[in-house]
Structure 1
């Protein structure tokens, strides 16, 4: 444990540079941007895969910390208002001591004046949870600090519903494989409807990610989902906020809602 914490706090700098792209999460029911997910990109246009391929056991902890700081610093200068959320992916297996490893995040947020309530941390099912009790401690510490948590890629990966029984995050993000073709798949509709019911009873909000067609959007809306992410609305853009498409009904909702910078951002591309 001591060596891992030193990896978070000291050691040599990363042997590569990176930046962040931002991908919107939309509250379609209210016709506005709910937040943005920060996604790793190279400074010369490299995709996330090329950057992540350079992450190894020697720099994993420093990279995880650097990603959080970079995302917060960029968001503080780009986000239109204090209500817009920032979603940051993190590696549970790269956090040794939750209270100690969150210090860089807290310091960055304080330095740029970014409120804790605006930050959500996503952890993914695709990273095997080697220590369930440890992940539970991470989530408890983040909540104590005022951060929200989300389980990414729900419906894929190692643990499935067992993670909800163990962790109860604030949000779950449905895996795109459950979303793809849902408009023509009664099986997928039934599964997602069941997940929505479970989430409601556990007081967990659902985000549908990977939405690419209006038919998928309509089907998911009919199942009671309001929060969406996907190429239908926008593609990630590096170090700036993207132009966003919203369906006609959502644009009408945004005109009825109080005017905010994030609402303008969501509708200006229509």
Structure 2
């Protein structure tokens, strides 16, 4: 009986130590995330999108990359944590505001004008979030002298559970305001293909995993051909 009590005590101490470590790690991650937001510790990159026909730059995808920390040694580690945390809306709003502000500064330097598209990554859940107040994005665009017709909302939805009937109505609301829609990571999963069918986007961005070594894999070639055929028949541009 005494031996059992000792074993139980040891297991209990191990349990406390394990959870203490996890709680401490979670606290550090949360603090590092908030510190990135408070101090705007983000690098912004403008990835040009070129026309294969003319070679002209038709737009830029705005990419925000956090400074690497002990808890977030990679960009994926940072955004994976954000996606699983309660801070999705806060971080997405911060990144959107920062992206448009820095793009406005870049536009002045490059003098790209209003013909240049601005691709903004955004999670579908953020568009549907009740905290996402009507008119917020429009006011922000007006502040930076950017037309909604320039803005392409780039959507990624790899997880199951999206309500397409509601989401289509939401997307149409943004289209009515002048925004365009892009589906990111097309071909990376079942949901991305479903999103193509329901949203009929203006742009399709094929996932890099589908392109990698495509010259060696006939199955990938066939799938890309199907996506291209769909795009041609629906007047959608492929990136």
User: Would the TM-score normalized by the shorter structure come out above 0.5?
Assistant: yes
Alpha-carbon contact 1:38-1:86 (below 8 Å) kept: yes
Shift of 1:39: 1.6
Residues 118 and 150, structure 2, Cα contact 8 Å, conserved in 1: yes
Match of 2:78 in 1: 51
Query: Once the 2 structures are TM-superposed, how far is the Cα of residue 180 of structure 1 from its aligned partner?
Result: 1.0
SS in 2 for 1:108: helix
- Do the aligned partners of 1:41 and 1:51 also contact (CA within 8 Å) in 2? no
| Higher RCO (C-alpha under 8 Å, 6+ residues apart) | 1
Root mean square deviation of aligned Cα: 2.5
Q: 1:185 to 1:156 in 2, by over 3 A?
A: same
State how far apart, in whole Å, the 2-side matches of 1:116 and 1:107 are. Answer: 10
User: Shift of the alpha carbon at 1:152?
Assistant: 0.5
Cα deviation per residue 1:93-126 (whole Å; 9 max; x = unaligned)? 2233589545332121101101111111111132
Tell me whether 1:25 sits opposite 2:59 in the alignment.
no
Number of equivalences: 195
SS of the residue corresponding to residue 46 of structure 2 reads strand
- Structure 1 residues 128, 122: CA separation in 2 closer, same or farther (over 3 Å shift)? farther
Tell me the SS of whatever aligns to 2:178: coil
SS at match of 2:190: coil
Is the 8 Å Cα contact of residues 155 and 178 (structure 1) preserved in structure 2? yes
> In the alignment, is the contact (CA less than 8 A) between 2:202 and 2:237 conserved in 1?
yes
Q: Which residue of 1 aligns with 2:62?
A: 38
8 Å Cα contact 1:24-1:35 kept in structure 2: yes
TM-score (normalised: structure 1): 0.64
Matches within 5 A, 1:1-270: 14-17=34-37, 18-19=41-42, 20-43=44-67, 47-55=74-82, 56-79=84-107, 80=110, 81-82=112-113, 83-96=115-128, 100-101=132-133, 103-207=135-239
From the two aligned structures, give the one with the greater helix fraction.
Answer: 2
Can you give the 5+ residue segments of structure 1 that lack an aligned partner in the other structure?
1-12, 208-270
3-state SS, counterpart of residue 171 of structure 2: helix
Cα distance change, pair 188–128 in 1 and its aligned pair in 2 (3 A): same
> In the TM superposition, what whole-angstrom CA distance separates every residue of 1:162-199 from its partner, at most 9, and x where no partner exists?
22222111111111121112233333222212211111
- Residues of 2 paired with 1:73 and 1:54: CA distance? 25
- Aligned partner of 1:256 in structure 2 is none
Distance 1:153 1:132, change over 3 A: same
Q: Indicate if the aligned counterparts of 2:68 and 2:74 stay in contact, CA closer than 8 A.
A: no
Partner SS state of residue 161, structure 1:
helix
